[in-house]
Amino acid sequence: MRNSVSGTIALPLLAVAIVVMPLQLRAQTTNKPPAPKPPAVERKEPSVKKARSIPFYGNLKTVDKTAKTFSVDKRILQITSETKILRAEKPATLESAVLGEYVTGSYNKTDDGKLLARSLYLGGRTKTTPPETKKEK
């Protein structure tokens, strides 16, 4: 008799356990959505991106002092207030430029296609060479 009572009780308990078990498993799921990342430190970038300078060299073809432009080969470059103009490593002005003179420098290209001169070396940029050392015998 004991077997029949325990069998009668065990069978419904087993059925309830089978039904309830998947519900408990779903409730214990550890699959959580990823936590939102904290916002990265926002860099304050200037409205104009600082572009890499593009070097140029060649002979000076034209100089327009009123429009503050000059041309080297096929490029027409514009002088700004930030353009460094040098002759023999000393400050100079656009007025001292001579047509046909060899010049070097660098410029930045704007979004609208203008070429803004960053530096202009009249007569070319001189390279400093290290002094020669005498070999001892």
Domain limits, the chain: 54-122
For 25-55, the pLDDT digits (tens) are 555 556 677 777 777 665 554 444 566 899 9
For 103-130, the pLDDT digits (tens) are 999 999 998 989 999 999 998 765 554 5
Nearest to 121 by CA among 66, 56, 65, 62: 56
Q: What is the pTM of this model?
A: 0.55
Q: How many CB atoms lie within 10 A of CB 106?
A: 18
Residue 87, sorted as left (phi over 0), alpha (psi -120 to 50) or beta, turns out to be: beta
Helices (H), the chain: 2-27
Architecture of the structural domain at 54-122: Beta Barrel (2.40)
Instruction: Assign 32 to helix, strand or coil.
Output: coil
